Structure 1
Amino acid sequence: MTRTVYVNGDYLPEDEAKISIFDRAFLMADGVYEVTSVLGGKLIDFDGHLKRLERSLNELEIKKPAAFDDLIEIHRKLVELNGIDEGLVYLQVTRGAPGDRDFAFPDPETTEPTLVLFTQAKPGLADSPAAKTGIKVISIDDIRWGRRDIKTVQLLYPSMGKMMAKKAGADDAWMVEDGFVTEGTSNNAYIVKDGVIITRNLGTDILHGITRAAVLRFAREAQMKVEERPFTIDEVKAADEAFFTSASAFVMPVVAMDGETIGDGVPGPVSLRLREIYLEESRAVAV
């Protein structure tokens, strides 16, 4: 069945969706995006994603699309039209196509942004087999630009990182800068040592994950100790367990780094409990 997608106010069959070849996302990676998970036909952490989208747009001086205040209704309609029970809604806002190719962009108030949304069906998203066995990661140098707190569509290096992991027989890569782990290719990274959950503190060098914020809140509510600070690859390898969080993977245990087993080599009790809490609490307040 052909998906229905949303492009600048219109709901269209995916094979009829078009944007200009002069759109700045195509020419300059000049745009931002969000991915919202769907469980039981409802949106997970939608308000957090909307707030982060607004922040990203402000940081890049991209005008909010006219339909910004209607985004929850657009998400819900696409979920309904495409029959999504478990899956994702991808949203992208770009600076638009103000004219011919130019490095300088015009006054944001004179340029209409491009707004695109589409769904991806992911049956079994909440019951991922990988969450039961854990995944393997490798370490790679973090050579991205310095404003990783803005969720831009500049995803070439993360994509290359995932391919490096695949070629190495692993599932993902954690990036390292100045000797410390920043984050995964599309997720926030954590280790657990002596019962303490350790994850890098917020700044411009990592994405301010929506799932990260929820998981840390749930951890503290469950009386788990959390420490927000940078950690090294050696600390990962010596950890009792490790995991990552993202909107599409929720809480995912990590059982090996660079070919070395982490902890007992199986998902640990902290990551499994946090995944259970996150899914339970998020389902309860999904919209």
Structure 2
Amino acid sequence: MSRIAYVNGQYVPHKDAAIHVEDRGYQFADGVYEVCEVWKDNIVDMPRHLDRLGRSLSELRIGWPMARKALEFVLAETVRRNKVHNGMVYVQVTRGVSRRDHFFPPQDVAPSIVVTARASSPAAAEKQAEAGISVVSFPENRWPRVDIKTVALLPNVLAKQHAKEAGGKEAWYVDADGNVTEGGSTNAWIVTRDNKLVTRPAESGILKGITRAAVLDLAKKEGLSFEERAFSLEEAYGAREAFVTAASTLVMPVVKIDDTVIGNGHPGMVATRLRQLFHTVTDLKAV
């Protein structure tokens, strides 16, 4: 089946989907995005994702491309037209098309919007989770406003490529103090030797992950002890467990960081349990 994309008011064949060469997303990475999981014909945590999209737009002074209710419909319709039962739906909004100039374009320039959806294999994801992944540390080199989910992801691309070439699946950024900030496309977690969940506070220096928030809700529901604080790479090496979270990975156990095997080298009980229960605390919007 041919894939369908939504581009500026039209559903078009994916192979024909295009934005003008002077779109500011292409020229300046002047745009933001969101990615929602699609699980069993439901869009997961769409209200939280759209809340964060609204915040990102506001921080960059970009207008909504349409009313929020209309965008909810477009996301669901794009999922339906692509017959995605399990996978991802992606929305990108830029400041629009205008003659290349660093200054903002005139106010009558409309934002551009693209929505795409694609299927993924739950079986393949579970197989990876059963084995766990390796992460590779990388020096933090991004701008300070990583709390805004912008399309300016070149540092993330370079970090993740470095991890891939070193045999890892994800990179963990490490700041000048030796503390882990977050992954190239995930939030970072450890489970300490005394079985306490630890993840960095989302006030600054990391993206306020939607999956991260759901896992914190789940930890509270399950009565798990947790702390939102910085943790060092050295502390992570000595952790009982480690894992990453994102809409694209859910809760993904980490079994190796750089050359250090974590725990017994197998996914830990806490990460595995959180993954199993994840959707019990999420908002599900049927498509």
TM category, shorter: over 0.9
Aligned partners of 1:158, 1:166: CA distance in 2, in Å? 12
State the 1:127 CA deviation.
4.6
Q: Is the 8 A contact 2:42 2:284 kept in 1?
A: no
Q: Which moved more, 1:21-30 or 1:163-172?
A: 163-172
In structure 2, C-alpha distance between the alignment counterparts of 1:126 and 1:222, rounded to whole Å: 27
What residue identity is the alignment partner of 1:106? P
Match of residue 92 from structure 1: 92
User: Which residue, 138, 141, 153 being the options, matches 2:139?
Assistant: 141
Q: Which residue of 2 aligns with 1:244?
A: 244
Q: Tell me what 1:102 maps to.
A: 101
- In the alignment, the residues of structure 2 paired with residue 2 and residue 45 of structure 1 have an alpha-carbon distance, to the nearest angstrom, of 27
Unaligned stretches of 5+ residues in structure 2: none
2:138 partner SS: strand
**1:19: Cα distance to partner?**
1.3
1:167 aligns with 2:165: yes
Residues 200-246 of structure 1 show CA distances to partners (whole Å, capped at 9, x for unaligned) of 01123100000000100110111101100111010000000000100
> 2:179 maps to which residue?
180
* Corresponding letter in the other structure for 1:227: E
What's the counterpart of residue 229 of structure 1?
Answer: 229
Query: Aligned residue for 1:267?
Result: 267
TM-score of the superposed pair, with normalisation by structure 2: 0.95
Alignment of 1:1-287 (within 5 A): 1-97=1-97, 99-106=98-105, 109-124=107-122, 127-178=125-176, 179-193=178-192, 194-282=194-282, 285-287=284-286
What are the Cα deviations for residues 171-211 of structure 1, in whole angstroms up to 9, with x where unaligned?
Answer: 11100112110000000000001110000011231000000
- Point out the more displaced range, 224-233 or 63-72: 63-72
Q: Deviations over 1:145-190 (max 9, x none)?
A: 1100000001111111111111111111100112110000000000
Q: Please give the per-residue CA displacement for 1:44-75, whole angstroms capped at 9, x wherever unaligned.
A: 11111000000000000001112433112111
- Corresponding letter in the other structure for 2:159: G
> Which 5+ residue runs of structure 1 have no aligned equivalent?
none
Give SS of 1:144's match.
coil
For this pair of structures, how many residues does the alignment match? 284
Aligned 8 A contact 2:243 2:252 in 1: yes
User: 2:204 & 2:115 partners in 1: Cα distance?
Assistant: 27
Task: Report the residue type matching 1:167 in the other structure.
Answer: E
Q: Which amino acid aligns with 2:57?
A: L
Compute the displacement of 1:126 (Å). 8.0
Instruction: Give the residue type in structure 1 aligned to 2:61.
Output: E
Contact 1:201–1:229 (8 Å) recurs in 2: yes
Instruction: State the 1:111 CA deviation.
Output: 2.3
| Secondary structure of 1:106's aligned partner | coil
Contact 1:39 1:126 in 2 (8 A): no
Distance 2:198 2:155 in 1: 25
Equivalent residues of 1:189, 1:199 under 8 A apart:
yes
Percent of pairs with identical residues: 44
Cα gap change, 1:263 to 1:272, in 2 (>3 Å): same
The answer to whether the 8 A contact 1:134-1:266 is kept is yes
TM-score (structure 1 length as normaliser): 0.95
